[in-house]
Amino acid sequence: MTNPAPAATPFPLPYVEMDGHPATEDDLRVPALFGFGHFTAMQVREGRVRGLGLHLERLDAANRELFQLPLEGEYVRELIRHALDSAGMRDASVRVHGFLPPRESRTRVMVTVREGIAMAGGGRSLMSVPYARVLPHIKRPGEFGQTYYGLLAAREGFDEALLTAPGGVVTEGAVTNIGFWNGSSVVWPDAPALLGVTMALLERGLAEEGEPSVRRAVTLEGVGAYRGAFICNSQGIAPVRRIDDVEFVGGEEEMERVVRRLEGVYGGAPEDLV
């Protein structure tokens, strides 16, 4: 007799506030029915965030582009602080969403708080997929294509999907930025993609330490010429073990050293008090 599969552990629901108060049923109709909007995701540790100013700039720029309305950084900070205090958390994974429902004249700001997340260790495998996001410079909720290809990659035994434009042009990971290592410097794909906060901090930090990174066109046909690669987002940095069937010539040990170096740069970035 076959034993039944163990029940899946339920994913803990986040604490949610809308415009500074616990989200009501009416509030939650906004993202459910009027999902056109934008967001940013950050990791809070002891009430501090690396690159908080960049997150706030991202929210304001996206809000102005989508809704022609500013989204003041200090107001957003107050909402984050309130949600963290209400949830009783100093270490957390926080998302801030901006929406503008029909016939409303002010941005509705939703803040979600859940347990903090860190990038899992070990080399990652990426499956390339033919998908490039519309307006990739805006971080948006409900990205069907990214979710679809991410699930497809997982079913095929990969850790994440790698998004590519026509001609096999590498752009970004489904939920990460990707960088390549040529043996002496970091190479970021010169292609339309979201400028992640971690990527921006690494670019800035490497330049300040006299090790500037570069941006160049990267194609699937050419990834094997690099010694290695890594992915990064607000959860951290991880080496890439392979892309499709391509194993990097530098090997995992070299990339682990590179990632440790990058973690030192990222870890040394100033943290802002929420």
Summarised one tens digit per residue, pLDDT across range 248-261 is 988 888 999 999 99
User: How far apart, in whole angstroms, are the C-alpha atoms of residue 217 and residue 228?
Assistant: 16
User: How far apart, in whole angstroms, are the C-alpha atoms of residue 196 and residue 47?
Assistant: 21
Residues, the chain, total?
274
- What's the pTM value of the predicted model, to 2 decimals? 0.93
Instruction: Tell me the percentage of the chain whose pLDDT exceeds 90.
Output: 89
Give 231-240 pLDDT, tens digit per residue: 999 999 999 9
Residue 119 lies in a domain: no
User: Of 190, 125, 130, which is closest to residue 163 (Cα–Cα)?
Assistant: 130
Residue 189 lies in a domain: yes
Please give the pLDDT value at position 67. Answer: 98
CATH at 84: 3.30.470.10
Domain boundary among 72, 90, 114: 114
Residues 107 and 218 reside in one and the same domain: no
φ, ψ for residue 93, nearest 5 deg? -100, 120
CB-based contact 203:197 (threshold 8 Å): no
- How many separate domains does the chain show? 2
pLDDT lower than 50: segments of the chain: 1-2, 5-6
CATH at 145: 3.20.10.10
Residue 6 lies in a domain: no
Give 88-132 pLDDT, tens digit per residue: 999 999 999 999 999 999 999 999 999 999 998 889 999 999 999
Domain membership of residue 109 as a residue range: 15-114
Please state whether beta strands 169-173 and 160-165 pair in parallel, antiparallel, or not at all (unpaired). antiparallel
Residues 91 and 142 reside in one and the same domain: no
Residue 61 lies in a domain: yes
Give residues with Cβ within 8 angstroms of 174, minimum separation 6: 146, 147, 149, 150, 153, 160, 161, 162, 163
Residue 10 lies in a domain: no
Residues 144 and 245 reside in one and the same domain: yes
Buried b (16+ CB within 10 A) or exposed e, 59-78: bbebbeebbeeebeeeebbe
